[in-house]
Amino acid sequence: MAHAERFVEVPGGRLWTVVDGPDDRPDAPPLTLIHSAVVDLRSWDAMTPLLAAAGYRVLRYDVRGYGRSTTDDVEFSNRDDLRAVLDALGIARTAVVGNSRGAMIALDTILETPGRFVAYGWVGGGIGGFEGGEPTPEELALYEEADAAESRGDADALADIDRRAWLDGIGQPPTRVPAAIRDAMLAMDRPLVAPGRVFGKPRPLAPPANERLAQLAIPTLVVIGELDASGTRAAAARLASGAPRARLVSWPDVAHLVGMEQPERLASEIVDFLGPLPRWR
């Protein structure tokens, strides 16, 4: 497998990028993966070789402030950053899959520059401007616990709460997900919740994505775990009904970080989704 790593310089920051693909296919169609807000690009480690083996050039990057990417405390556009990464790597068009906040970044960028994208995978994500789904009492209690931990600057407690909420699934036992995956998620999240971490000031898309879903013209795969939070499940329903070419896949035994929890299953779903499309470069 061909493998390349580099930083991409952007105004006020630098973005760590990793590309993997088949050795004998330098023209393999690009597939971009964007991570959740509680992890970094390593959350795609188990899926990447499966997608590369299926014939895709797989691009991952750490968004500003995450993993090995850095930023000054400046205003910036996540859409500009994504396009800067594509430009630096000579990618004119790509399929894109995002998890959680990564799905929101992808959706906003598609709506702003639709010509750069051929297909979209939304995995346990959100939608800018959409506030749907009433939190359950159990969810509210955990969110209040997180607020209390943040107010006292308890990063260890915050990281544990993130793991319980977004990997285990709210109300699920800590034994549901293998310990190695739980440890990997915690190792990525703990530095993100440390006091003083700089993430910059992202500029939101205007008008927000929720008002523009009818413009999402490319094939769209919506993947949701039924152990995910109620707000995320509501967002999945909203996108599946609002985007003209969306298809909803709902899995009863998965929570929020689908690619970490069930990489083979998600990779297979993505390969099946992209397979019928004309090849792109």
Domains and CATH numbers, the chain: 2-133+196-274 (3.40.50.1820), 137-193 (no CATH)
Average pLDDT over residues 197-221: 98
Q: Look at residue 173 and tell me whether its pLDDT is greater than 90.
A: yes
Please give the share of the chain, as a percent, with pLDDT higher than 70: 100
Report pLDDT digits (tens) over 211-233: 999 999 999 999 999 999 999 99
- At residue 114, the pLDDT reads 98
Q: Look at residue 15 and tell me whether its pLDDT is greater than 90.
A: yes
Report pLDDT digits (tens) over 230-244: 999 999 999 999 999
Residue 256 — pLDDT band, cuts 50, 70, 90?
Answer: very high
- At residue 145, the pLDDT reads 96
Nearest Cα residue to 209 out of 246, 234, 243, 249: 243
- At residue 133, the pLDDT reads 76
Report pLDDT digits (tens) over 102-118: 999 999 999 999 999 99
- At residue 1, the pLDDT reads 84
Judge residue 272's burial from the number of C-beta atoms within 10 Å of its C-beta, 0-12 exposed, 13-18 middle, 19 or more buried. exposed
Q: Look at residue 16 and tell me whether its pLDDT is greater than 80.
A: yes
- At residue 136, the pLDDT reads 94
Residue 175 — pLDDT band, cuts 50, 70, 90?
Answer: very high
Residue 210 — pLDDT band, cuts 50, 70, 90?
Answer: very high
- At residue 263, the pLDDT reads 98
Q: Look at residue 167 and tell me whether its pLDDT is greater than 90.
A: yes
Residue 25 — pLDDT band, cuts 50, 70, 90?
Answer: confident
C-alpha to C-alpha distances, 90 to 29, 79, 116, nearest whole angstrom = 12, 17, 12
Nearest Cα residue to 165 out of 194, 193, 140: 140
Q: What is the DSSP letter of 206?
A: S
Average pLDDT of the chain to the nearest whole number: 97
Spell 94-110 as b/e; 16+ CB within 10 A means b.
bbbbbbbbbbbbbbbbb
- At residue 142, the pLDDT reads 95
**pTM for this entry:** 0.98
C-alpha to C-alpha distances, 54 to 57, 160, 272, nearest whole angstrom = 9, 35, 10
Nearest Cα residue to 102 out of 166, 151, 5, 35: 35
Residue 281 — pLDDT band, cuts 50, 70, 90?
Answer: confident
Q: Look at residue 33 and tell me whether its pLDDT is greater than 80.
A: yes
